[in-house]
Amino acid sequence: MARPITLFTGQWADLPFDEVCRLASEWGYDGLEIACWGDHFEVDRALAEDDYVQRKRDQLAKHNLQVFAISNHLAGQAVCDHPIDERHKDILPGAVWGDGDPEGVRTRAAERMKDTARAAAKFGVDTVIGFTGSSIWHTVAMFPPVPPAMIDRGYQDFADRWNPILDVFDEVGVRFAHEVHPSEIAYDYWTTRRTLDAIGHRPAFGLNWDPSHFVWQDLDPVNFILEFADRIYHVDCKDAKVRTGDGRRGRMSSHLPWADLRRGWDFVSTGHGDVPWEDCFRALNAIGYAGPLSIEWEDAGMDRLVGAPEALQFVRRLAFDAPSAAFDAAFSSSS
Cα angle 101-104-105, degrees, rounded to a multiple of 5: 85
Give the sign of the dihedral formed by CA 252, CA 92, CA 72, CA 41: negative
Residues 198-241: pLDDT tens digits?
999 999 999 999 999 999 999 999 999 999 999 999 999 999 99
Distance CA 53, CA 38 (A): 16
Strands 293-295, 5-8: parallel, antiparallel or unpaired by DSSP?
parallel
Residues 310, 27: contact at Cβ < 8 Å? no
Per-residue pLDDT at 325: 72
Residues 45-86: pLDDT tens digits?
999 999 999 999 999 999 999 999 999 999 999 999 999 999
Residue 334 has pLDDT above 90, yes or no: no
3-state SS, 212-234, equals HHHHCCCCCHHHHHHHCHHHEEE
Torsion angle in degrees (nearest 10) through CA of 57, 76, 39, 303: -100
Torsion angle in degrees (nearest 10) through CA of 135, 137, 138, 139: 100
Give me the residue spans of the domains in the chain: 5-331
* Diameter of the chain measured on Cα atoms: 75
Distance CA 214, CA 219 (A): 5
Residues 249-272: pLDDT tens digits?
999 999 999 999 999 999 999 999
**CATH fit for domain 5-331, picks 3.20.20.150, 3.20.20.120, 3.40.50.720, 3.40.50.970:** 3.20.20.150
| pTM greater than 0.75 (yes/no) | yes
Residues 109-155: pLDDT tens digits?
999 999 999 999 999 999 999 999 999 999 999 999 999 999 999 99
Per-residue pLDDT at 333: 65
